Amino acid sequence: MKNVSSMAKLGFCSSGNLIKPKRRSLSLIASAQKPQSLDMINGKKVNGISVGEGPYSGIKKIELIKENVADKSDHSSLVGRFVEDRHVYRQTFIIRSYEIGPDKTATMETLMNLLQETALNHVRSSGLAGNGFGATREMSLRKLIWVVTRIHVQVERYSSWGDVVEIDTWVDAAGKNAMRRDWIIRDYNTQEIMTRATSTWVIMNHETRRLTKIPEQVKQEVIPFYLNRTAIADEKNDIGKIDKLTDENAEQIRSGLAPRWSDMDANQHVNNVKYIGWILESVPLPVLEEYSLTSMTLEYRRECRQSNLLESLTSSTANVTEDSNKNNSSNRKADLEYTHLLRMQDDKAEIVRARTEWQSKQKQNHE
């Protein structure tokens, strides 16, 4: 298998700097059996967590209530637990003041950070964690890490400061040599589903930087946690090709973006959540002010280090795609759709391709 340079180190379904596998099939979200859609699952209220009004207006607090359950987590400090026969990991979060944007709601970066945190805690609480950042024990023995190739997020509504959200996450097979991780984010009080997300992961050797098949020993570790369910139904998922942007077809180009030391993750690479902010740097300001980001698809191609200068390119999707029907986007009524590229400034090497959908804030307020 061809040696892959400039790869990102990642753990079992954690988020960091990521790659796209050479084989196209690995970037597709697939399963041997047709998963059960989340819409078909009867949602249950969270057990063991009580949310009441806090001492300040609009701010809620979480009180943990002891449950008489046989399975106790070793990480009692985490506000999370397994449900549905340990197939789903559930964790609650309060949206804090520093996690909101100019419109006083959580940002896409905030959501991505919460998804990453829940995924890592899922692995740690499962007892599978090895020495690596999210890698299982068998993976650590073989110097293997997980790398994400693609992630798609759909947002129905963003939380506000002080809101309590509940996040469920689970994993399943994605073909023979990849794994899928899904998430849903609910409003804790109403149980309204606010965000759905899905991602695809492959395994890479940490030292050789080569993609590899999932060893049988690793499969035996993770298979007991597989759940044949999807957060996003197939017909609403964005699995279409993201077209390449160039100097010729890009409508907006922002150069000179420089990663800082604080942008590095535990693996000394730029955390993939940071890419979102750089991608949005080339989005026209009126769009950021007047529209809400309702869908984002990220396709990771190579890692980025602190020494790299970056460029962010953006163009309306219609300007770079001959047939918009081939995009197979989320099929929702987006007012605007953009295609993005984050690349190295010097050699123009691609880091991340992305597609976003936007809806008018004024229209949302009237719905």
Residues with catalytic function: 267, 269, 304
Q: What is the DSSP pairing of strand 229-230 with strand 36-37?
A: parallel
CB neighbour list of residue 12: distance below 8 Å, 6 or more residues apart: 119, 123, 128, 129, 134, 135, 136, 139, 146, 222
In the chain, where do the E strands start and end? 36-37, 49-53, 60-64, 80-83, 88-94, 144-155, 164-173, 179-187, 193-205, 211-212, 229-230, 252-257, 291-300, 310-316, 336-344, 350-360
Give the whole-angstrom CA distance, residue 121 versus residue 89: 8
First to last CA, the chain: 52
Query: Residue 342's closest CA among 299, 294, 285?
Result: 299
Query: Residue 46's closest CA among 149, 202, 215, 190?
Result: 190
CB 166 within 8 A of CB 90: yes
Q: What is the DSSP pairing of strand 88-94 with strand 164-173?
A: antiparallel
What values do phi and psi take at 340, rounded to 5?
-130, 160
